[in-house]
Amino acid sequence: MPVPAKRRSSSKGRRGRANKGLAKKTLAKCSKCGKPTMPHHVCPFCGNYQGKEIIKSKVKKKAGSKK
């Protein structure tokens, strides 16, 4: 039975597998403000979803209250 010349240590194997679950999050663009948002979610920047304003955004208020 063949034996591997150099065995990978258990910690080295675990270290490699540690990043296996990391995946890039898919981002959609908001149709109104164009900022990246989570798909099927209300835009956190302008509060729009499918062309309707669902939540009155806090960002707008802050922008309006700027000195």
Residues that bind Zn ion (CB under 5 A): 30, 32-33, 43, 45-46
Backbone torsion region of residue 47, taken as left when φ is above 0, otherwise alpha when ψ lies between -120 and 50, otherwise beta? left
3-state class (DSSP) for residue 49: strand
Least CB distance to Zn ion at residue 60 (A): 10
Cβ proximity to Zn ion: between 16 and 34 the closer is 34
Contacts of 1 (CB under 8 A, 6+ apart): none
Cβ proximity to Zn ion: between 33 and 60 the closer is 33
Least CB distance to Zn ion at residue 45 (A): 5
